[in-house]
């Protein structure tokens, strides 16, 4: 399957880049910025995208990149911080010009190039940066600028390396999808053949191959994320899956009953229903700070799940389903936290307890 990998440098928009690529019918995945180059090469991606990020490339704690990324012979697109990091790594100049850009900005093309093939010479784009590229690396050509960014677009078509200062993934850049399509189809030579249906079929086949005849458990909360993951795994392994539904009493009215009815009576998935409303409400009594509440809910959810998981014999695999939005808001790794979620940022510090040491699906 043709895959484009998005390297995450801590931007809130990183997940959105991966989504936009998939909307172009090309499969994409978001991976940590420090994923080993050997691991990236082994996956044989059709292209790489370096996301934006909140830092400056000159900061002491700036996230860096292995220069060998640019020697893989794979097309690379740097967006915002990703462009600046590409510039800094390859010998160009990034500087604080004193002219920050935030919001809608006019971009002027000096030549068409690959990224802006068949697009207007003047167009509106969305900027969000303080530093600017003032001199591209050797072999690159500046193909676009704004009033405050002398190098807003740069290209090295021979090495298939590209940089863009604006954010093509957001709706405020009207031609953003066209820019991404030019990278995907003209630079990476991808085919627009990926669909949601195909990923379901491929996921079921991959799960079946990974799990075989082993037993599987799933922490079911009733949300879209864990429910979707549970049903995908159930389609692959059948009754070898057991879902543990921790009923904490904090769902919408009658929602717990709907979850039980759907999984037990409609889908007929083996289900353990843990009624823990009183325990959760007792622990939350008198707590008013939202983040503290989320931490309490997250830890208690895992502790109850662990206790129930120990009752099940011979289970080897754990199903974990998490929405991108939960990951974004929880601010894992290098992104800022908006709010913790019980299945991501709300997990207890020692989340890799016995039940969590199982292999993950």
Catalytically annotated residues: 80, 167, 169
- DSSP reduced 3-state for 109: strand
157 and 96 Cβ atoms separated by less than 8 Å = no
Which residues lie closer than 8 Å to 44 by C-beta, 6 or more apart?
3
Alpha carbon distance 276, 265 (integer Å): 22
Rounded to the nearest 10 degrees, how much is the dihedral formed by the CA atoms of 125, 126, 129, 133?
-20
Task: Tell me how far CA of residue 274 lies from CA of 43, 46, 219, 227, 261, in angstroms.
Answer: 41, 45, 11, 16, 15
CB 218 within 8 A of CB 242: yes
Per the structure block, which two tokens stand in for 241?
A: 């899956």
Q: What's the CA gap between 20 and 74, in Å, rounded?
A: 20
CA dihedral 32, 35, 41, 46 (to 10 degrees): 10
| Bridge partners for 101 per DSSP | 129
For residues 27 and 1, the answer to whether their CB atoms sit within 8 Å is yes
User: Rounded to an integer, what distance in angstroms lies between the CA atom of residue 120 and that of residue 359?
Assistant: 50
Helix (H) or strand (E) holding 124: strand 122-135
Does residue 47 contact residue 31 with C-beta atoms inside 8 Å?
no
Report helix, strand and coil shares of the chain as percent, to nearest 5. Answer: 35, 25, 40
Neighbouring residues of 129: CB distance < 8 A, sequence distance ≥ 6: 80, 81, 84, 100, 101, 102, 149, 165
């Amino acid at each position: 399957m043709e895959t484009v990998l998005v390297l995450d440098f801590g931007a809130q928009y990183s997940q959105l880049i991966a989504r936009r690529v998939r909307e172009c019918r090309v499969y994409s995945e978001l991976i940590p910025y420090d994923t080993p180059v050997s691991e990236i090469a082994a996956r044989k991606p059709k292209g790489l995208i370096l996301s934006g990020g909140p830092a400056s490339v000159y900061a002491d704690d700036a996230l860096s990149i292995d220069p060998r990324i640019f020697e893989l012979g794979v097309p690379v697109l740097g967006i915002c911080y990703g462009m600046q990091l590409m510039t800094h790594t390859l010998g160009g100049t990034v500087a604080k010009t004193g002219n920050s850009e935030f919001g809608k900005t006019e971009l002027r093309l000096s030549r068409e190039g690959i990224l802006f093939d068949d697009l207007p010479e003047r167009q509106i784009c969305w900027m969000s940066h303080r530093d600017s590229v003032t001199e591209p690396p050797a072999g690159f050509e500046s193909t676009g600028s704004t009033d405050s960014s002398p190098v807003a677009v740069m290209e090295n078509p021979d090495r298939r390396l590209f940089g863009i200062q604006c954010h093509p993934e957001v709706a405020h850049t009207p031609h953003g999808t066209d820019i991404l399509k030019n990278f995907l189809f003209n630079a990476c030579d991808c085919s627009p053949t990926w669909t949601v249906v195909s990923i379901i079929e491929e996921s079921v086949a991959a799960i079946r191959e990974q799990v075989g005849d082993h037993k599987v458990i799933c922490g079911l909360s009733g949300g879209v994320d864990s429910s979707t993951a549970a049903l995908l795994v159930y389609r692959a392994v059948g009754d070898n899956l057991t879902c543990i539904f921790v009923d904490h009493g904090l769902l919408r009215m009658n929602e717990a009953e709907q979850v039980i009815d759907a999984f037990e009576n409609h889908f007929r998935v083996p289900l353990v229903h843990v009624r823990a409303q009183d325990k959760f409400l007792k622990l939350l009594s008198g707590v008013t700070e939202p983040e503290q509440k989320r931490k309490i809910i997250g830890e208690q959810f895992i502790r109850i799940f662990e206790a129930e998981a120990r009752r099940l014999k011979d289970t080897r695999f754990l199903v974990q389903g998490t929405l991108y939005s939960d990951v974004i808001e929880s601010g894992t790794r290098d992104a800022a936290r908006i709010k913790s979620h019980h299945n991501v940022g709300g997990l207890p510090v020692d989340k890799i307890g016995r039940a969590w040491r199982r292999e993950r699906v």
